Amino acid sequence: MNNYFKSAYLFGVFGGGLGLVSFFTLSFFREDPTTLNLVFGYVIVPISIYLALKYFKDYSNQGFISFAEGMSVGFVAYMLIAIISFFGIWLFLTIDLNLFELIKSSKIDTLVQSRDTIISQVGQNSYDATLESVKVMSKIDIALNDAIWKIIPGLFFTIIISIILRKNPN
DSSP state of 59: I
pLDDT mean across residues, the chain? 93
* Three-state secondary structure readout of 88-155: HHHHHHHHCHHHHHHHHHHHHHHHHHCHHHHHHHHCHHHHHHHHHHHHCCCHHHHHHHHHHHHHHHHH
Domain ranges of the chain: 6-95+143-165
* pLDDT confidence tier of residue 170, bands split at 50, 70 and 90: low
pLDDT, tens only, 77-119:
999 999 999 999 999 999 998 999 999 999 999 999 999 999 9
How far is Cα of residue 166 from the mean position of the Cα atoms in its chain? Answer: 25
Q: Report pTM.
A: 0.91
